[in-house]
Amino acid sequence: MRLGLNLGYSGSTFTLNLPLVLEAERLGFHSVWAAEAYGSDAVTPLAFLAARTERVRLGSAIMQMPARPPAMTAMTATTLDQLAGGRFLLGIGASGPQVIEGWHGVAYGKPLGRAREYVAVVRAIWQREKPLEHKGEHYQIPYAGPDATGLGKPLKSILHGRADIPIYLAAIGPKNVALAAEIADGWLPVFFSPERMRIYRPSLDAGFAQAGGRKSPATFDIAPTVPIVLGDDVAACRSAVKPNLALYIGGMGARGKNFYNDGREDPGPLPFRQEGRGRGRGARRAGGRGRALRPARADPGAGRRVRGGGGHHAHLPDVPAGGRSADGRAGRLGGRG
């Protein structure tokens, strides 16, 4: 197992805990990751950190696919990778309809088909085998729609970069997890528990099989974001984690479409069971009237480690400490995802 640091995205102002990042690098952390929602972006902090770090890998968790054409993402990834000396990790995901349609002003569409085309275009640009041409349901390159000028022509990237920049796909549902195993180098899960690997194993195996033997658990990176709180009071530490869980499980997305709380989309039980009715106040604060959260029962006899080969690592997100941080000071550990 390897450790990563997840810096998350901004609140009303953006700050970057550079001393924490430098300490993570000193301690040998594998990677530092930045996120985006509808405030700060994931790219700018990584560019800043590329100039201030030397060894730690720098990843996006995630860059929203519908917010950028695949060519723009390929350009950004190659530029960052070269500035960072080959340390960039491209994490991408579909985000959700409220952000994509409500903020970016584009159709959410069909995430599975779009992700497959998106990754194919990005890899084709990196490979530079020929001028880029792609004719799919979601992307036409060169563009050939009814409002096209007809002047577009296939182009090849001016910038020569790595063709094997690792791609991580954020995924929740069974089909998305299988797609990640098939076309990506790694998977960014949420609310992941190695004790419940049986929930995801069929999807991962199906994706590996679809890849035609080119993929296996030994070469596939699983990189979940894991909340870490240090303290002597277990209840206080657990309470520090609950608000973020409540936000995602009870309040993320639209009332009728929350991918984190939709049994049809979720491949199995979440690490926390949901009790009560409604998604109102309980979605915004732990212990609210809407619902209560309590740990689900672990699988009988489950092991304590992720199984299936190397390459697994955990992102440590920013959660208010229930006690004290590792150096004895009250404060925070990690970065928010």
For every residue of 167-187, DSSP letters joined together read: EEEE--SHHHHHHHHHH-SEE
Mean pLDDT of 230-244: 92
pLDDT for res 238: 92
337/316 Cα distance (integer angstroms): 8
Whether the Cβ atoms of residue 95 and residue 9 lie closer than 8 Å to each other = no
Ranking 179-183, 201-205, 270-274, 326-330 by mean pLDDT, the lowest is 326-330
d(CA 14, CA 39): 9
Instruction: Tell me the CATH class for 2-232+299-333.
Output: alpha beta
Kindly list the distances between the CA atom of residue 144 and the CA atoms of 13, 156, 161, in Å, as whole numbers in the listed order. Answer: 41, 18, 28
pLDDT level of residue 259 (50, 70, 90 thresholds): low
Residue with tokens 């309470």: 239
> For residues 224, 230, 234 and 238, what is the CA-based torsion angle, rounded to 10 degrees?
-40
- Look at residues 231, 124, 226 and name the one whose alpha carbon lies nearest to residue 183: 124
**Mean confidence (pLDDT) of the chain:** 81
Contact between residue 16 and residue 35 where contact means Cβ atoms under 8 Å apart: no
The pLDDT > 70 percentage for the chain reads 74
Residues of the chain above pLDDT 90, percent:
65
pLDDT band at 337 (very low <50, low <70, confident <90, very high): very low
Per-residue model confidence (pLDDT) at position 336: 31
- Model confidence at 280: pLDDT above 50: no
Distance CA 317, CA 84 (A): 23
C-alpha span between 82 and 172 (Å, rounded): 31
Instruction: Please list the alpha-helical segments (H only) found in 6-84.
Output: 18-26, 43-52, 70-83
Higher-confidence residue of 167 and 284: namely 167
**How many CB atoms are closer than 10 A to CB 118?**
26
122 contacts 74 by C-beta, under 8 angstroms: yes
- For residue range 290-332, what is the model confidence (pLDDT) as tens digits? 333 333 333 333 322 232 334 566 666 644 333 333 332 222 2
- Residue 262: predicted pLDDT: 58
Name the burial class of residue 79, with classes exposed (0-12), middle (13-18) and buried (19+) by CB atoms within 10 angstroms of its CB.
middle
Confidence of residue 106 (pLDDT cuts 50, 70, 90): very high
Lowest mean pLDDT across 109-118, 169-178, 194-203, 254-263: 254-263
Among the residue ranges 101-115, 131-145, 204-218, 299-313, the one predicted with the least confidence is 299-313
Question: What mean pLDDT do residues 64-72 have?
Answer: 98
Asked which of 1-10, 97-106, 216-225, 250-259 is least confident by mean pLDDT, the reply is: 250-259
The answer to which of 141-145, 160-164, 191-195, 236-240 has the lowest mean pLDDT is: 191-195
What distance separates the 2 farthest-apart alpha carbons in the chain?
Answer: 67
Report how far residue 328's alpha carbon sits from residue 150's, in angstroms, rounded to the nearest whole number: 64
Confidence of residue 191 (pLDDT cuts 50, 70, 90): confident
Going by the DSSP 8-state scheme, the letter that residue 41 receives in this structure is -
